[in-house]
Each structure stands twice: as C-alpha cells, then as structure tokens.
C-alpha cells in the first residue's frame, strides 16, 4: 500500500496502547490473577495515531502484501449463542472461504472467541464475557505458530511443518454495524522486526507466546468503519515463509472518537485457523 494511495483516505485520530521497552521478557496471565500478583508485567503507553478508513482501497488489499482483507461474506448462521451450530456450520463456511481466497489445500479451524464489550468489565473475571483487546498485539510468534500445529495435529505435525502454512483469523461482527470499539489493523509492510516483542501468555495448563508491539511512527493503521454482519476481516497472524510477504499483522481495539452516544457495545466473533499450502 503506497503513500499516494492512502494520502487522501478519511481518518480518525485515536490512542493505541503500545508496549514500553523493557529488559525482561513480558508475561501476562490468561486467568484472573490471585491477590498480590500482577496480571501482566508488561507496561503500556498510549500513543496517538491516525487510523485510516480502508474501505476505498478494500479491493486492492491482499493477505500477501498488507496481511489483511476486508470481504463481503454473508453467513447462514443466525444464532451466535449456539455453540454447536458455530462449530458445525460456521466453521465449514470459514473453511470454504479461506480455501477460495488463499488456494490452500487444507484449513483447520481450531478455536473461536466471542467478544461482548461490557463497559467497566474486568477481563477474566468469572462470568464476564471476553472483552475486546485494547493493546497492540499479534496472536502468534515465530515460535508459537509452529508449536500450535504440534499441539493440535500430533503425529501429522512434523510432515505438515515441512511445507508452508499460515495462521489466519476470521473476524466478524455479530451485532452490526460496529460503531463501538472497532478493530484497527496495521499494514504488515510497515512493521519492523524490532517492533515485535515476544511475550509469554500463561494459562492454567500451558504457556503460549504472542507479540506485543513497541511504538514506531512508521506504522500505518486502518479500520473498516461500521462493519456489518455480512462482512469479515481476514487477518494473517503468522506465515511460515520469510520472503518479504506479510507474516505478522498487529491489531487492537480502539476508542473511535466519532462513535455516537448510545452506540451498542461491540459484539464480534473471531475464528483462528491453520491454513496449509502445497
């Protein structure tokens, strides 16, 4: 995405939470921390950035260059409270969509998260729905991408890891249009290697790893205003090939200063998928 293409795009000024540089590897607990234990050792600082409306350029986006796509992709699923229907019907739709968009030979949907923002809610509090993540992050690292394949696919993993694969998220509003806490996405080509900081995510039964992100004024941020239920964002969180194509796409929920008073809180679903090629 060249400078001339984005120069005249509509935009908003908003504040995003970036990781402050630190000497030790950060870690975050993915459960409610016990008394006296910090939920995370990471320290964040808000930075004001411009977030551009990507809709005028949507048809030019690619998973290989920018690392994300905005697509019109209606779903037959009506009830996103029906876990069985999500797994049996919505997963199949996502597999078909990703195969069509990427040319993949195999797609494995391994996880989904529904987020329903509750103003003032404490993330990980018992009984609280998952909240939008207000920090700049990328879901997988050079280490945790392949490890996810090993964790999920057992005896098949090592053979699969000999060929190219990617981790792609499928993000959709389930109560649209989204006016509250929209999702901002970076153009992957504006991310420098040193911007990405591996961070441990500590679960009760395992430790994963994601990237938090240090501020860089070269980052270019985009969003799709008022995303509808019949639209999805494909977000590449990992690619095993390191040849200049998009590999990691940091993203974050943000407070849109143009959100009208009384806008319904954001509700969305994200699917995490392994996409295999060749």
Residues 6+ apart with CB under 8 A from 42: 19, 20, 22, 26, 27, 28, 199, 212
Query: 202-252, pLDDT tens digit by residue?
Result: 999 999 999 999 999 999 999 999 999 999 999 999 999 999 999 999 999
Taking all residues of the chain, what is their mean pLDDT, rounded to a whole number? 95
CA 249 to chain centre: 7
Tell me phi and psi for residue 137, to 5 degrees: -155, 165
Query: 52-66, pLDDT tens digit by residue?
Result: 999 999 999 999 999
Given a cut of 70, whether residue 122 has pLDDT beyond it is: no
Using CA atoms, how far apart are residues 217 and 198, in angstroms rounded to an integer? 20
Kindly calculate the radius of gyration of the chain based on its CA atoms and give it in whole angstroms: 18
Contact 187, 66 (CB under 8 A): yes
The CA-CA-CA angle for residues 141, 142, 148, to 5°, reads 70
Given a cut of 70, whether residue 124 has pLDDT beyond it is: no
Contact 235, 185 (CB under 8 A): yes
Query: pLDDT value at position 16?
Result: 98
Q: Where are the alpha helices (DSSP H) in 76-143?
A: 83-85, 91-102
Tokens 């990471």 — which residue? 42
Using CA atoms, how far apart are residues 13 and 33, in angstroms rounded to an integer? 33
User: Residue 119: pLDDT band by 50, 70, 90 thresholds?
Assistant: confident
CB atoms within 10 A of CB 46: 12
**Residue 137 in 3-state DSSP?**
strand
Using CA atoms, how far apart are residues 212 and 133, in angstroms rounded to an integer? 12
Phi-psi region of 114 (alpha: psi -120 to 50; beta: other; left: phi over 0): beta
Tell me phi and psi for residue 145, to 5 degrees: -60, -60
User: Residue 13: pLDDT band by 50, 70, 90 thresholds?
Assistant: very high
Query: 17-43, pLDDT tens digit by residue?
Result: 999 999 999 999 998 899 999 999 999
Query: pLDDT value at position 62?
Result: 97
pTM for the complete prediction?
Answer: 0.95
């Amino acid at each position: 995405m060249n400078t001339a293409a984005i120069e005249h795009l509509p935009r908003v000024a908003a504040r995003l939470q970036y990781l402050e540089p630190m000497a030790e590897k950060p870690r975050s607990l993915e459960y409610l921390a016990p008394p006296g234990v910090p939920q995370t050792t990471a320290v964040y600082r808000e930075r004001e950035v411009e977030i551009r409306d990507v809709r005028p350029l949507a048809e030019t986006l690619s998973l290989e260059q920018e690392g994300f796509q905005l697509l019109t992709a209606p779903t037959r699923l009506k009830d996103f409270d029906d876990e069985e229907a999500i797994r049996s019907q919505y997963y199949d739709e996502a597999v078909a969509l990703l195969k069509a968009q990427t040319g993949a030979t195999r797609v494995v949907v391994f996880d989904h998260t529904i987020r329903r923002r509750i103003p003032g809610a404490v993330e990980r509090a018992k009984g609280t729905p998952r909240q939008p993540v207000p920090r700049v992050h990328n879901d997988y690292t050079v280490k945790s991408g392949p490890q996810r394949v090993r964790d999920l696919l057992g005896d098949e993993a090592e053979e699969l890891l000999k060929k190219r694969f990617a981790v792609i998220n499928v993000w959709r509003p389930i109560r649209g249009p989204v006016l509250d806490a929209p999702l901002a996405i970076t153009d992957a080509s504006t991310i420098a290697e040193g911007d990405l900081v591996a961070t441990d995510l500590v679960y009760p039964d395992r430790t994963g790893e994601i990237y938090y992100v240090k501020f860089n004024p070269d980052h270019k941020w985009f969003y799709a205003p008022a995303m509808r239920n019949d639209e999805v964002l494909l977000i590449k969180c990992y690619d095993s090939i390191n040849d200049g194509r998009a590999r990691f796409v940091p993203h974050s929920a943000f407070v849109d200063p143009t959100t009208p008073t009384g806008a319904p809180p954001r509700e969305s679903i994200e699917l995490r998928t392994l996409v295999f090629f060749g």
